[in-house]
């Protein structure tokens, strides 16, 4: 019986020593710098993920607000105004009903003593046609496929016409104008108008109604050296 008691005491002592050693080993393992650093980094990663998720939710909310604003009436009106200005500035190709006016020199021979220049198409003749079309409501104009702007000139250079600073055109001159065809044709053909004056000298004028006219965008550059918005910047 005494031997059995010593056996239990010895077993308890051994078990206590084993538990003490295991506890110390576990504490030492937790205090190892590499493991503590790993735990710290894991916590930082978890925090970063949480912040990322919060930011993503904010991005989604802002996108939804932007989409809602883009579909609003104010933005639609601004887009329509921008398109109108781009058309007036000649920056985009346009299509629509209108007329084509083809001009060429007279096929009559000058009589003896007459000035032959009266039977030749001049820049001022072309300019009169263009101005008449503008007055009749033409919204876009081109001559021989070149888009005309408010700053486009029509100037005679020998037998050719110069426009858009460096584009030389030769007859026949085909003027395309988008607008109400009835108004455009009626303005050109009115009694005593520009077409009647040109035809008096035999200048060839052909006016054709076009249901779907295509006018290209302006191909040159626009540079303003002197004009600037009134009132200064920000107004």
Rg of the chain in Å (alpha carbons)? 43
Residue 62 shares a structural domain with residue 122: no
Residue 103 shares a structural domain with residue 53: no
Residue 98 and residue 177 in contact, taking contact as beta carbons nearer than 8 Å: yes
User: Going by C-beta distance under 8 Å and a sequence separation of 6 or more, which residues neighbour residue 30?
Assistant: 36
Residue 114 shares a structural domain with residue 206: yes
pLDDT, residue 46, reads 83
Residue 109 shares a structural domain with residue 183: yes
Residues of the chain whose pLDDT is less than 70? Answer: 1-36, 70, 232-235
Partners of 101 in the β-ladder: 175, 207
pTM of the entire predicted model: 0.66
**Which residue from 54, 131, 149, 40 is spatially nearest to 94, judged by alpha carbons?**
149
pLDDT, residue 128, reads 95
Residue 45 belongs to domain spanning: 8-67
Residue 97 and residue 211 in contact, taking contact as beta carbons nearer than 8 Å: yes
pLDDT, residue 30, reads 54
- What confidence tens digit (pLDDT) does each residue in 93-146 have? 999 999 999 999 888 777 787 777 778 889 999 999 999 999 999 999 999 999
Residue 38 shares a structural domain with residue 102: no
Tokens 């607008």 label which residue? 179
pLDDT, residue 234, reads 47
């Amino acid at each position: 019986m005494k031997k059995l008691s010593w056996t239990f005491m010895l077993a308890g002592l051994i078990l206590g020593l084993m538990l003490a050693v295991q506890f110390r080993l576990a504490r030492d393992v937790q205090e190892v710098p590499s493991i503590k650093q790993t735990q710290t980094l894991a916590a930082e990663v978890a925090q970063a993920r949480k912040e990322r998720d919060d930011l993503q939710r904010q991005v989604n909310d802002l996108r939804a607000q932007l989409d809602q604003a883009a579909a609003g009436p104010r933005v639609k009106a601004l887009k329509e105004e921008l398109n109108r200005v781009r058309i007036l500035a000649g920056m985009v190709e346009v299509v629509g009903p209108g007329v084509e006016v083809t001009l060429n020199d007279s096929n009559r021979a000058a009589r003896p003593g007459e000035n032959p220049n009266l039977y030749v198409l001049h820049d001022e003749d072309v300019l009169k046609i263009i101005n008449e079309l503008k007055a009749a409501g033409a919204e876009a104009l081109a001559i021989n496929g070149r888009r005309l702007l408010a700053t486009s000139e029509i100037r005679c250079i020998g037998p050719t016409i110069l426009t858009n600073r460096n584009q030389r055109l030769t007859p026949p001159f085909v003027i395309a104008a988008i607008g109400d065809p009835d108004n455009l044709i009626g303005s050109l053909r009115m009694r005593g108008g520009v077409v009647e004056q040109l035809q008096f000298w035999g200048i060839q004028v052909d006016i054709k109604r076009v249901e779907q006219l295509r006018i290209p965008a302006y191909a040159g550059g626009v540079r303003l050296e002197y004009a600037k918005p009134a009132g200064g910047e920000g107004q």
